[in-house]
Amino acid sequence: MPNRIVFKRQWAEDIFEIKVEAPLIAEERRAGQFVILQLNDEYGERIPLTIADADRTAGTITLIFQTVGKTSHALADLDVGDYIAHMVGPLGHPTHIERVGTVVGVGGGIGAAPLYPIAEAMKAAGNRLIVILGARQAGLMILEDRLAGLADELIVCTDDGSRGRKALVTGPLKEVCERPSKPDLVVAIGPPVMMKACAETTRPYGVRTIVSLNTIMVDGTGMCGGCRVTVDGQTRFVCVDGPEFDGHQVDFDNMIRRLGAYRRQENAAHERCHLEEAIRQKEREAGR
């Protein structure tokens, strides 16, 4: 049976890395692609997660995720040896990798995970690679060592200055754009507001900026259209047209609103989880 978890690591209170046995996905996947997983046959929801890395020989893929809703919390509760009920992929178009000159990879928070394979492929294609890695605080920074090993230049920054520079990623990004030899391509991945800010930062310099969108999805194959975004005034589906788009053309405000469509229900479900956990805790105590 596929989808067995063979490795687990906790990066921060709400950031986890797992390696999952999925030989077919490991073989076919390329940088920029994602999977959709589901933890329960009947009542589970389907959530998209970007593939952070893969090992073809071992037949495993790496997923790095932040616990935000019920399913990601439940995923974090699984241990090595447990199985993910359903996982499908690799989905989405792979990143277009080519030698363009200097590529700046910007990873914000958990966005460092999807950035990693793209940075790796861009480097392998012969590009000069600058990585700007940002997080709210030092404890939330991931993959710094791995990206340091890859990048020709690594700029680390945190919102509170607890690691690297005290800055938002847009600070160093602006500086890089102002260098005499401005970059040829920026790949910015992170929270929607960060990607929006990066696109606005590079726009005046005319530096092509790719963003990777992580919207609400059900099937991930084009069937539902729940993931649609407005790009250059056109409706596009993140699952089959993306997940990467020209950041200068994406209507981020619309996308951010659509991401919040179910916030009320999600919060309620999440609270219910905590409530149920508290009840179980009480019952355990009472039983003792």
The answer to whether 191 touches 168, Cβ cutoff 8 Å, is no
Buried b (16+ CB within 10 A) or exposed e, 59-91: bbbbbbbbbebbbbeebbebeeeeebebbebbb
Quote the least distance from Cβ 195 to other proteins, whole Å.
Answer: 17
Q: Cα(256)–Cα(196) distance, rounded to whole angstroms?
A: 10
> Site mask, other proteins, residues 153-192, x = CB under 8 A?
----------------------------------------
When binding is defined by CB under 8 A, the residue of 15, 21, 31, 46 that contacts other proteins is 46
When binding is defined by CB under 8 A, the residue of 57, 149, 181, 264 that contacts other proteins is 264
Q: Cα(225)–Cα(101) distance, rounded to whole angstroms?
A: 36
Strand, coil or helix: 6:
strand
Q: Counting contacts by CB under 8 A, is residue 257 touching other proteins?
A: yes
When binding is defined by CB under 8 A, the residue of 175, 225, 277, 281 that contacts other proteins is 225
Count of C-beta atoms within a 10 Å radius of residue 139: 14
Helices 192-202, 170-178: axis angle to 10 degrees equals 20
Q: Counting contacts by CB under 8 A, is residue 41 touching other proteins?
A: yes
Q: Counting contacts by CB under 8 A, is residue 40 touching other proteins?
A: yes
- Shorter beta-carbon distance to other proteins: residue 10 or 221: 221
Which residues contribute to the site for other proteins (CB under 8 A)? Answer: 24-25, 28, 38, 40-46, 70-71, 85-91, 218-219, 221-226, 228-230, 235, 237, 240, 251, 253-254, 257-258, 260-262, 264-266, 269
